[in-house]
Amino acid sequence: FAEAFGPEQFLFDIAQANSNIVGIDVSNEIVIRAKRSATGYGVDAGKYLCCDVKQLPLQDNSIDLIISDSTLDHFPSETDIVTALKELGRVLRAGGTLILTIDNKSHLTYPPYFIIRLWMRLGLAPYFIGKTLSTTELRHTLDQIGFSVEEITAIFHYPHPDGLVRWLERSLRKLGRGKFNNAIRKSLAWLDRLEGKRTKYLTGRYIAVKAVKKEAS
């Protein structure tokens, strides 16, 4: 999604480091736009695939590194998330690394899911907002399917909803004509310091995990 629409095209940066990259999305439209963006960056667009992360067209133990940037929190059930994690574990080689972020439902402003459903029904969400797992549930699931969690934290310390926060930031930048940019940058940097606090899971927008697939016993 980021490679198709946003400024956060991290896969393009990895590809430029001469890595063998596979990008996936369930939407063919997004894959087409991502390929177009990749071509514009001078990156090989041949390995952007339209597929379901729960049924990947990839061989077992064929991937060294998987980056899932807030993609598994767009399913209608927690069971779907677990199924997707198992599939990622299938294609990842032993000793390979999974970098994963998902919505943090321990956040103080994370709304009850009936509010999220209402928000989507009113057309206020640009995409489907799905279920997520708690920190404990995520750690337990990864352990059960053969991962060792090396790092886990909470990142991006700002309130819900994302759209309102981004609109406010854009509006301040526009109204200030650049005068507020430094203050905005300092404010965001100050909020990032909350990651070092014991209360980080109450303020972090996403859970971020680094996990390594265990060697077969």
Structural domains for the chain: 1-51 (no CATH), 63-213 (3.40.50.150)
Q: What pLDDT does residue 124 have? A: 82
End-to-end CA distance of the chain: 36
What are the DSSP E strand ranges found in the chain?
23-25, 48-50, 63-69, 92-103, 147-155, 206-213
Residues sharing a CB contact under 8 Å with residue 195, sequence separation 6 or more, in sequence order: 153, 154, 155, 157, 204
Ramachandran area for residue 95 (φ above 0: left; ψ -120 to 50: alpha; else beta): left
Whether this prediction's pTM lies above 0.95 is answered by no
Is a pLDDT exceeding 70 seen at residue 51? yes
pLDDT bin (cut points 50, 70, 90) of residue 1 is low
Q: How far is 67 from 48, CA to CA, in rounded Å?
A: 14
Q: What are the CA-CA distances from residue 22 to residues 27, 32, 47, 55, 81 (Å)?
A: 15, 14, 5, 15, 20
Q: What is the average pLDDT across 5-19?
A: 64
Provide Rg for the chain, Cα atoms.
18
Lowest mean pLDDT among 65-79, 112-126, 144-158: 112-126
Q: What 8-state DSSP symbol labels residue 147?
A: E
pLDDT by residue (tens digit) across 90-109? Answer: 999 999 999 999 999 999 99
Residue 11 or residue 94, greater confidence: 94
